[in-house]
Structure 1
Amino acid sequence: MSMLKKSFRKLLRTFKHFIRFWVSPVLPIINFSQVWKGYKKYITDWNNYSKLIKPYSIEFEDSLPKIFDSTYQSTFDSHYFYQAIWAFENIKYSSPTLHLDIGSDIKFVGLLSTIYPVIFLDYRPIKTSNTPGLRNLCGDILALPFANNSISSITCLHVIEHIGLGRYGEPLKNDGSIRAFHEISRIVKPGGFFYLSIPIGRERLQYNAHRILAPETVINVLDEFKLIEFSVITDTQEYRKGEMYQNYQNSSYACGLFVFQKDSRTV
């Protein structure tokens, strides 16, 4: 009987996982109660707004219902929000004459380019206009178009965990993340800084979204670097500065924020 229960529970977990991660992204499961409340409020607001003095009249063909935004709190992605704050603070401290970003969030890159000259390299490049501080390059993190020991300041935020999984159209590589670390290590100038954010915790592959690495793995791979500072965004979405990375080896999906400096004796 206990074996039957275990099998049923495993089947139920598998079904829930399938619905949540395979079905919902392409066919959202509709909460009809929420939809009903949203449209009810929308129609009530429409009627009340129509009674106001009208600089603009409401026309049906111009209507654009947004029925899920009336919430008590604004939602945000804690990893991307806090990592941008963390990176800005650290880059400002070192004040580089030129900064290279590899594949990070473009809003962060754009803002940074108003303070420091930035080269933004991505497998899927962006086109911008009137951004004199920003130079966009198309490139591959596994074959960076820079000489050995040539770049003094690099960010790569929430990127390396994806490399080689094919999610963004890149070739499949089972050691993509490790190769990316080695390639970045190659181009960082001795004494230069590498600012990294990456999911950390219990090491595993969640194909094809990302890999989650133990913080110790990251540090061991970057053996030409010294860890200057470690901060973290925890499983409970708290931003904690100056933490001990050993405390987060068994996290589920934390975000490790690493400041590395390349050994000045490296040639």
Structure 2
Amino acid sequence: MIRPVLRAVGFNFRRIPAAFSGWQRFARDRDEFLGMPGADRLPRGRDLPMLAEFGESSGDLGAYFFQDLEVARWILTDQPQRHVDVGSRLDGFIGHLAVFREVDVLDIRPQPLPVPNVHFHQIDLTIELPMEWTACTDSLSCLHTIEHFGLGRYGDAVDPLGHLKGLEQLKRMVKPGGLFYLSTPIGPERVEFNAHRIFAASTVIEWFDDGWSIERFAVVDDASRLHSPVDWRSAEAANHFGCQAGTGILCARRTLP
């Protein structure tokens, strides 16, 4: 009980040893800095100790990073007339798209500030789709979002079938001939309430059996390595491409009205 609550407010138990050793280095570096010529050229403000970043890498190159880059590259290549996104990261994938095109963004959560090239619409995709969003676009993305539908994490109603209902809503948004870019966790199937669901790779592929054709498939494995393209028809799909909690990324075309 205590650990999840502390984690929710940003407390990271794993960083405690690094913070203690970091304090020693911070104090040593501060004293050295203050004793050097030029240390008094700027007024001194309050100390803001950064204690756990010594020796860390220049950035977190995780699944979201590679997923966002890969799908943005696909969309840049495909050049759709209109692009609509549902629930993807504003401070990642949407930011990439907004550099080179306009994008309509639908999310159950509010958008904190206006963003150039981003047209925001606060909509709950777990309820009936408004008519104006039916067959509204030739290009739709939904990245690392479908696995949350119906778990209540983002203020939506709890529903064990929420992901399937949401998937049907998303499919209805794409015009015949249009493209749907989807990503979700893949591995042995399970629900890790209320964080997310993890789907078998074969399940994700089967979602597009009827009226759709998968054109691209990529995987970010458990070690955050991007594999693109991969053959979704291969025997590896039965083993989730070796993932326990990886990311499957696909682009499918709507082939039937």
TM range, normalised to the smaller chain? 0.7 to 0.9
Q: Higher Cα Rg: structure 1 or 2?
A: 1
> Within 5 Å, which residues of 2 pair with 1:145-224?
145=130, 146-222=132-208, 223-224=210-211
- Tell me the secondary structure at the aligned position of residue 104 of structure 1: coil
2:117 is the counterpart of 1:128: no
CA contact (8 A) 2:84 2:141 kept: yes
Give the number of aligned pairs: 244
CA contact (8 A) 1:201 1:248 kept: no
2:247 is the counterpart of 1:258: no
Q: Given the superposition, is the C-alpha separation of residues 192 and 31 from structure 1 closer, same or farther in structure 2, using an over 3 Å criterion?
A: closer
2:236 is the counterpart of 1:247: yes
- Tell me the secondary structure at the aligned position of residue 188 of structure 2: coil
2:218 is the counterpart of 1:226: no
Percent identity among equivalent residues? 29
TM-score normalised per structure 1: 0.84
CA contact (8 A) 1:200 1:248 kept: no
Structure 2: 5+ residue runs without aligned partners? none
> Within 5 Å, which residues of 2 pair with 1:37-52?
37-50=21-34, 51-52=36-37
1:81 paired residue among 35, 43, 65: 65
- Which has the higher relative contact order, 1 or 2, with Cα contacts under 8 A spaced 6 or more apart? 2
Q: Given the superposition, is the C-alpha separation of residues 98 and 37 from structure 1 closer, same or farther in structure 2, using an over 3 Å criterion?
A: same
Once residues 152 and 87 of structure 1 are traced to their aligned partners in structure 2, the CA distance between those partners, rounded to angstroms, is 15
Once residues 178 and 16 of structure 2 are traced to their aligned partners in structure 1, the CA distance between those partners, rounded to angstroms, is 54
Once residues 90 and 112 of structure 1 are traced to their aligned partners in structure 2, the CA distance between those partners, rounded to angstroms, is 11
Residue 84 of structure 1 and its aligned partner are, at CA, apart by 1.0
Determine the structure 2 residue equivalent to 1:9: none
